[in-house]
Amino acid sequence: MEACRFCSISQHKLDAAIVFEDESVIAFMDKYPLVDGHLLVVPKKHFESFIDLDHESAFDLVKVIGKLEKALMDGVGCEGVDLRQHFRPFLPESTLVLRHLHLHLVPRRMGDDLYDKALKHEGSLRREPSLVELTSLASKIKARIR
Ligand SMILES: [Zn+2]
């Protein structure tokens, strides 16, 4: 099995353009950025998702987000930042999937390419379900929170 790319970057066995690092978190430029300044923020310990993330690593991960958002706004002159996390274990191993938890920090600007080419189409997917429908879905989720 191929070594985990983000574990390799965390251990400095693989090069990346690192912007932040402490004992438990590393942040670096996305190799395939959606827009200039797109960062990845990664716990150094290998976790596949938030499901298995421990409390200490969760705290360490979240506490750097604001610091990095401010640095992005000052450093690349964006007006805002999207925070994203994708958990898609249903995708086959052969696709470009990194099974190491990571957060995307995507610099945003009014009317940027990301909006024009992708996000504005999300609006057509939105609908307005009834409160009964929402409550039914909520009860299915609530019953499984551990
Ligand atoms: Zn890993």
| Residue-wise pLDDT tens digits, 1-15 | 568 999 999 999 999
d(CA 39, CA 65): 11
Q: What's 34's domain CATH number?
A: 3.30.428.10
59 C-alpha to ligand 1 centroid (Å): 18
27 C-alpha to ligand 1 centroid (Å): 14
Range of the domain at 33: 5-142
49 C-alpha to ligand 1 centroid (Å): 11
CA distance to 18, 32, 47, 84, 116, per residue, from 119 (Å):
28, 18, 29, 13, 7
Query: What one-letter code names the amino acid at 80?
Result: G
Global pTM reads: 0.88
| Residue-wise pLDDT tens digits, 90-140 | 888 766 678 899 999 999 999 888 888 888 888 888 899 999 999 999 999
How many domains does one find in the chain? 1
Residue in the structure block whose two tokens are 């290998």: 46
100 C-alpha to ligand 1 centroid (Å): 5
